[in-house]
Homo-oligomer: A and B are copies of this chain.
Amino acid sequence: MWKLSRKSEYALMVVQRLGALGPSEQLPASVLADDGDLPRDLTAKILQELRQAGIVQSSRGVAGGYRLVRPLDSVAFLDVVRPFEEHLGLADCVDGDGGCKRAEGCTLQGPVARLNHWLMGHLRGLSMAEFVGPGRGLGLTVDMPQPSTGRVSSDRLGSVRRNAL
């Protein structure tokens, strides 16, 4: 869990790069690939998917290329990554979709769905501008204490709870 697919990484790089462009500028897939040292064909495919997701626009022809539809601070991290993550969610059952033979009597579905909901909410609320920006994307340049015992520090948990409500 957690690991971004390589396509997602490439997509984030490309979107970041396009976000640094001037309002009327655009770049062809080949340039985006070469600058970022990414495979050309794959980069082209990724850009197609980003277009279908409504994140970039394209124009064909000689001086064609790609540009962002909206500026970085109006693009959610989750939206960039979503097309490249097959199962976006902690488990397949979180959409309420059936398919899990254990669905009824499953004591895990509820907790997993709750946790998933919480996560998605935060990632939807994280803009690319904040994600990519130097300072404090989620305000987490401060080190969080990491209990070595596996014992849970309930004070931090408490703050999470307060915030979420």
Interface residues of A (CB under 8 A from B): 1-5, 8-9, 12-13, 16, 36-37, 54-55, 70, 73-77, 79, 81, 85-92, 101-102, 107-108, 110-112, 114-119, 121-122, 124-127, 130-134, 136-142, 144, 146-147, 150-154, 156-157, 159-165
**Docked pose: A138 CA to B3 CA in angstroms:** 22
Beyond contacts A1-B2, A122-B160: 17 other A-B pairs, Cβ-Cβ < 8 A, are A1-B85, A1-B88, A2-B89, A2-B116, A3-B87, A16-B107, A74-B150, A76-B152, A115-B137, A118-B140, A121-B140, A121-B144, A122-B156, A125-B152, A125-B160, A126-B152, A138-B164
**Docked pose: A137 CA to B159 CA in angstroms:** 13
**Docked pose: A86 CA to B3 CA in angstroms:** 9
Output the least CB separation between A130 and chain B (Å). 7
Q: How many copies does the complex hold?
A: 2
Given contacts A107-B132, A116-B2, A126-B157, contact A162 B139 (CB under 8 A): yes
